Amino acid sequence: MHQNGSLFNHGHLRDHLSQNLGKITPSIDAWDTEKLLTTPEADLVEELTNDFRIEVPSLDLKGVEIEPLKEGYGVIERYGHDAFRVRHNTITLLIPYTGSRVVFTLQPNTYNDQPPQGTVTDTEVKVTWSGESTDQDFVGRALDLKINEITTWLDWARGEIHGYNARVERVIPEQVRARKQAVLASRNLEGALGFPIRKRADAKAYEVPLVRKRIGPKPSEAPTGTSFEPEPVLADADYEEALRVLKNARNQLERSPSLAEELDEGKIRDLLLLALNGQFEGAAAGEVFNFKGKTDILIRVMDGNVFIGECKFWRGPKTITNTLDQLLGYLTWRDTKAAVLLFVREKAFSEVVNKVLEKLEEHPNFKRRGSTDEFGTRHDFVFHIDGDPSREVKLAFLPFHLRPAGSGG
């Protein structure tokens, strides 16, 4: 706890902010390289930004309390050897606040020669008034003046801190990305030396063998706590192409209600597989998109899946919870891209979609929202696999609006 005295008077705010900015690069450089490579970049940026961001304190004026009033005596005037003492009261306000405590100690660029007086803890500011007056209005105004002084100094600090936070949020992603690229460049240095590099015996295991539209392999990240090893995953461009094909097939089904009216999940899935395999071809059986169990659409490489799509009819909010539990439950850390294809026969299609979006964000594996396309026909999310928040899964939600079965017409 600071001793009673002047607030905003123990150093300069600008110096503190400048020193903080200077610590960002050393903090990133000090990271273990495996952590840098195996933790999602967005998580690293969020962690570091939270460490360096400064929150301007906000006073909770509705939660103000006072300590028990203290009575005392003070000498007010002397005449010769005589002194006149009068009784006075001491009132201490306890003002809760949220934000960075250090701000109360530092002088902003704008200031005056009479900083507020008080004491600061991690949760509250204490300000004290002493005087002989018992007039409630007078004492109330005196206390309000002390609170207003603190608020004014916080406002003076706010502009500097806002600019600092904006710079933190701009610099940290740039430096994290630069550090990661530098580490990867070092790892890949052997490939640029001009000497032949001995191939691994299992090098072919990292290639997804496709012919028509080749889905190129892309190294994934290893799970937390292990060394960085490339694993087969679906490249972003191929993921987008697969989703484009699925959206086009969805549009055809929606425009052909008589065709889709009586189709169950399995038959709709088979139609989607036909569309996908018309664009992508596997080297062995001529099909790279297959199915597992009843409703999965997947690309499987070695012993893992690089793309998984779940096909479900809407039967209430539990549909989404159960689908996510199922999908995320059997995904491994190699699986980084997925899609939920939801078939909706209800007329209130928009209401269903809104309920689905809410359920997706409520799931314990939810990490953050991505983008939504212009017409709301695709919604992107980032989830994590069970048991490992650092292993991210890109998930696209594609709703299908199909005519109710037996509606005719």
pLDDT per residue over 117-147, tens digit each? 999 999 999 999 888 888 888 988 999 999 9
Q: Which of 273, 280, 285, 303 is nearest to 215 (CA)?
A: 280
Residue numbers of the domain that contains 36: 5-182
Helices (H), 78-221: 136-187
Q: Looking at the domain assignment, is residue 197 inside a domain? A: no
Separation between Cα atoms, residue 84 and residue 271, nearest integer Å: 100
CB 50 within 8 A of CB 145: no
Q: Looking at the domain assignment, is residue 169 inside a domain? A: yes
pLDDT at 284 over 50: no
Count of structural domains within the chain: 2
At residue 184, the pLDDT reads 75
Token pair 């991210």 is found at 392
> Could you tell me how many helices (H) and strands (E) the chain has, helices first?
10, 16
Which residues, 6 or more positions from 385, have their beta carbon under 8 angstroms from its beta carbon? 328, 331, 332, 333, 335, 365, 391, 393
pLDDT at 218 over 60: no
pLDDT at 286 over 50: no
At residue 1, the pLDDT reads 35
Domain boundary residue among 134, 155, 182?
182
| Mean pLDDT confidence for 263-282 | 77
pLDDT band at 3 (very low <50, low <70, confident <90, very high): very low
Domain check: are 133 and 250 in the same one? no
Helices (H), 306-372: 318-330, 349-362
Q: Looking at the domain assignment, is residue 28 inside a domain? A: yes
Domain check: are 123 and 243 in the same one? no
Domain check: are 225 and 355 in the same one? yes
pLDDT at 207 over 80: no
Q: Looking at the domain assignment, is residue 253 inside a domain? A: yes
Tell me which of 245 and 223 has the higher pLDDT.
245
Domain boundary residue among 158, 182, 206?
182
At residue 131, the pLDDT reads 82
Q: Looking at the domain assignment, is residue 205 inside a domain? A: no
At residue 235, the pLDDT reads 72
Domain check: are 94 and 165 in the same one? yes
pLDDT at 7 over 90: yes
Separation between Cα atoms, residue 387 and residue 398, nearest integer Å: 26
Q: Looking at the domain assignment, is residue 56 inside a domain? A: yes
Q: Looking at the domain assignment, is residue 206 inside a domain? A: no
Domain check: are 142 and 255 in the same one? no
Domain check: are 221 and 176 in the same one? no
Edge to edge, the sheet with strand 337-344 lists 289-290, 296-301, 304-313, 337-344, 392-401, 379-384, 366-372
Q: Any idea what DSSP says for residue 290?
A: E
Separation between Cα atoms, residue 407 and residue 409, nearest integer Å: 7
Helices (H), 192-344: 236-255, 257-260, 265-277, 318-330
Domain check: are 162 and 267 in the same one? no
Domain check: are 131 and 231 in the same one? no
Q: Looking at the domain assignment, is residue 61 inside a domain? A: yes
Domain boundary residue among 166, 182, 198?
182
Domain check: are 223 and 174 in the same one? no
Domain check: are 226 and 370 in the same one? yes
Instruction: For the chain, give the mean pLDDT.
Output: 79
At residue 130, the pLDDT reads 86
- Percentage of residues in the chain having pLDDT higher than 70: 74
Tell me which of 266 and 380 has the higher pLDDT.
380
Phi/psi at 106 (nearest 5 deg)?
A: -115, 140
At residue 264, the pLDDT reads 81
Domain check: are 160 and 278 in the same one? no
Question: Distance from first CA to last CA of the chain, Å, rounded?
Answer: 77
Domain check: are 260 and 330 in the same one? yes
pLDDT tens figures, 142-194: 999 999 999 999 999 999 999 999 999 999 999 998 988 888 777 665 445 54
At residue 241, the pLDDT reads 83
